[in-house]
Structure 1
Amino acid sequence: MVEFTEGAPCWVDAMFADVEGAKSFYGDVLGWTFGEASSEYGNYTQAYSDGKAVAAVVPPMPGVDAPSQWCLYFASPDAAATATKVTSAGGEVLMGPMQVGTFGSMVIAKEPSGAVFGVWQPGDHKGFEKMGEAGAYAWAEVFTREPAKADEFLPKVFPYGSQQMDAGDDPEMEGMDFKVFSLGGPENAVLGRMKMDDDFPPEVPPYIQVYFAVPNCDEAVTKAKALGGKLHFGPMDSPFGRFAAVTDQQGAAFAVIDLGTTVGEMPKFE
């Protein structure tokens, strides 16, 4: 079982008004299978890829009218202590710290520029059982209009180092404000941060984009669109893989990436 370092992405889940619809969508697009709903914990239902836990879906709590969206959780040895850091660094704790049976403890929080994230202190449930392979979590990026706020906040809450991307002479990267956060050195990047430009409608709030790996990006996009999802960006080739940003049929945003199809040289980071 993987033990996650403090600050490492360790789990994702999403709330859906139509859980069966979500299971059908992600089962087809990402090849997931699903376990039994846990009635004791609000019908929380784990998703599996090749029999390994990779995510979860859950219906909204009674009386809660929340939009469907993916939530990324970062590992913490002490969720309550991390919640205190969130507040002192200018963020907001939205829920918790809350003990979830023997599985662990959770916090839902918002960084100062507005992106929502989770904190997970593992108990019996450690987190992802598979990462960086088809059907599993691959990467995540904070999209924000106020990058300075996120950049200042994140290293105060988690033990991150950071590197700013050097756009160099690449015209495609001109004006792009992108930073990566790492644990234990630049070679262990765990999170990206992208400044939202004018291509993003003003009503789209800051958010964390979760990337799921797929065998073929274009095929995954075709499946998503056939099931009522929408394509928002791509497919596009990059040094990291061929990727596309989509929303599912209930409006939850995510990205798919074929990590095996890479084009171009890796960007430099300062």
Structure 2
Amino acid sequence: MAVQPEGTPCWADAMFSDVEAAKSFYGDVVGWTFGEASSEFGNYTQAYANGKAAAAVVPPMPGQEGMSQWCLYFASADVAATAGRIRENGGEILMEPMAVGDFGSMCLARDPGGVVFGLWQAGTHEGFETEPTESGAFCWAEVFTREPEKSDTFFAAVFGYRQQQMEDDAIDFRLYSLGKDTTVLGRMKMTDDFPPEVPPYINVYFSVPDCDDAVAKATKIGAVLRFGPMSTPFGRFAALSDPQGANFSVIDTSTTEGEMPGLSDVS
């Protein structure tokens, strides 16, 4: 897959204190297989869907032990320049831009509302090799934040996203797009349904052929069902926390129900 335009979600990984347990869990639930751990890069282990690079798992670095969480990376043509825009717009750099061998360069950051994300400037590793609808592929992601105005202003300034608000009084949901037609990310305001100890985060969705089957497998081996399964115009999905606490969703995009919601242009 070619290098993606700046601001496109291009990779996802997660730190797990028990990498072997994570490999077993995601292998069962989304069907991944795994490559060899790269000792040169902290035992970074790539996951594959049908032989294509889909994500990665890695043990935590010293001092970073804690609750596991998925990290979504956005494509950047120049991570140092993008990091500069992050700082200029009230964000925080958590890990300064650094080269990862000849694979590419990365950076970790946090938006003004507390949402952690990464940047990836592709070298030999261009990111996801999967298409969103393939089984086991990254399909979609949403910024969950208690301060939507901060995230909306920040991400538009850093990546130039066009924004559309969903016309629904029940939820505060917005779509971020590159250009006129390429929707790349959602943004959801966290309600009081989220316990105060749950920090803002980006929720990643992985494609599965059958949402209910994936949920049954996941909960049988220790996952916690947070929401769903629910059929929508976009697919049938469910939100889960894996046995080590990382939040993610599964979605079957072939099972849809209802009409697409109305959207209002914001910017």
Q: TM-score, normalised by structure 2?
A: 0.97
Query: What are the Cα deviations for residues 237-268 of structure 1, in whole angstroms up to 9, with x where unaligned?
Result: 10000000001110000000000000000011
Give SS of 2:232's match. coil
Match of 2:227 in 1: 233
Residue in 2 aligned with 1:42?
A: 42
1:130-164 deviation per Cα after TM superposition (whole angstroms, max 9, x unaligned): 03121100000000111000000001111211111
Give the residue type in structure 1 aligned to 2:94: L
SS of 1:189's partner is: strand
Query: Using the alignment, how far apart are the partners of 2:49 and 2:96 within structure 1?
Result: 29
Aligned partners of 2:209 and 2:2: how far apart in 1? Answer: 23
> Please, which runs of 5 or more residues in structure 2 have no aligned partner?
none
Following TM superposition, by how much is the alpha carbon of 1:63 offset from its aligned partner in structure 2, in angstroms? 3.6
* Distance in 1 separating the partners of 2:252 and 2:241: 17
Instruction: Give me the whole-angstrom Cα distance separating, in 2, the residues matched to 1:40 and 1:159.
Output: 35
1:24 maps to which residue?
24
Q: Which amino acid aligns with 1:208?
A: I
Q: CA deviation at 1:2?
A: 2.3
- What pairs with 1:1-270 in structure 2 (closer than 5 Å)? 1-132=1-132, 133-167=134-168, 174-185=169-180, 187-270=181-264
How many residue pairs get aligned? The number is 263
Please give the per-residue CA displacement for 1:62-104, whole angstroms capped at 9, x wherever unaligned: 3432321000000000000010110110010000201101011
Shift of 1:106: 0.4
Q: Equivalents in 1 of 2:170, 2:30: separation in Å?
A: 33
Structure 2 equivalent of residue 171 of structure 1: none
Aligned partner letter, 1:154: F
SS of the residue corresponding to residue 265 of structure 1 reads coil
The one-letter code sitting in structure 2 at the alignment partner of 1:184 is G
Q: Secondary structure at 1:249's aligned position in 2?
A: coil
Q: Is the partner of 2:102 in helix, strand or coil?
A: coil
Q: Percent identity?
A: 65
Q: Match for 1:230: what amino acid? A: V
